Amino acid sequence: MSTVNESIKNRYSALSFSAKEIDESTLKELFEAARWSASCFNEQPWNFIFASQSNKANYDRILNCLAPFNQAWAKSAPVLMISVASLKFTINQKNNTHAIYDLGQAMANLAIKSTDLGLSVHQMAGFDPNKAKQDLKIPDDFQAICASAIGYPDSTDKLDGELKKRAEEPRSRKELNDFVFENLWGNTCKL
Ligand SMILES: Cc1cc2nc3c(=O)[nH]c(=O)nc-3n(C[C@H](O)[C@H](O)[C@H](O)COP(=O)(O)O)c2cc1C
């Protein structure tokens, strides 16, 4: 019997979204979840740029940064977002080598919270970070790391071909003994 928190277990990357908009208070809850994440020296190096479908010019600015294979399904999401890491520590301008790690933690919390709210956050590496940096006016010392499509999941019947097949495949994971070791690397755990 699994005791994993239901929202961790049930979070998934939807490929089909309903047209229902995400209201401001719900969006705010997502960013609050990110805000309370842990970070190296409490630097909080996460930044998010989102745009809603209801504002086409701004939405398209992010949509146009996505790889075509992601645009194909992400264009149905009511919100698109680019997650940006601040690469230097504020206090001394030294490189923060954990900035991307910390942004990832913030994204994990945001994605889990989205599940609580009936939403899905589908993260994407398939986008052009340089185009995002230029088009979204991201300053030097900040790096666009990840794009996301956010919305209320809808039926996979709205999808065709490979996308439909992918959306209907059961989610799979490695077993614990593939990645958890006790005492030394390679010592398979007995958990
Ligand atoms: C950093 C990151 C990059 C990803 N890039 C893409 C992407 O470009 N396109 C895509 O369709 N899914 C992308 N995904 C979604 C993964 O394929 C998905 O998380 C994985 O298959 C596990 O499925 P699940 O999220 O439904 O559990 C990405 C996920 C992460 C965390």
Closest Cα to atom 12 of ligand 1: 124
Tokens of 6: 């239901």
Taking the centre of ligand 1 as the mean of its atom positions, its distance from the CA of residue 93, in whole angstroms, is: 32
Taking the centre of ligand 1 as the mean of its atom positions, its distance from the CA of residue 151, in whole angstroms, is: 15
Query: Quick check: pTM over 0.75?
Result: yes
CA distances, 85 to each of 48, 82, 117 (Å): 9, 10, 25
Taking the centre of ligand 1 as the mean of its atom positions, its distance from the CA of residue 124, in whole angstroms, is: 6
Q: How far apart are CA 18 and CA 99, in angstroms?
A: 33
Q: How confident is the model at residue 60 (pLDDT cuts 50, 70, 90)?
A: very high
Q: What is the pLDDT of residues 12-27, one digit of tens each?
A: 999 999 999 999 999 9
- What CATH number is given for 6-153 in this structure? 3.40.109.10
pLDDT reported for residue 190: 81
- Which residues are CB-contacts of 128 (< 8 A; sequence separation ≥ 6)? 65, 67
Task: Provide the b/e sequence for 60-73 (b: ≥16 CB within 10 Å).
Answer: ebbbebbeeebbeb
Cα 23–Cα 29–Cα 33 angle in degrees, nearest 5: 150
CB-ligand 1 contact for 123 (6 Å cutoff): yes
Q: What is the pLDDT of residues 40-59, one digit of tens each?
A: 999 999 999 999 999 999 99
Domain locations along the chain: 6-153
Among 12, 13, 121, name the best residue to mutate to test ligand 1's pocket (greatest count of ligand atoms within 8 A of Cβ). Answer: 13
Ligand 1: atom nearest CA of 146 is: 1
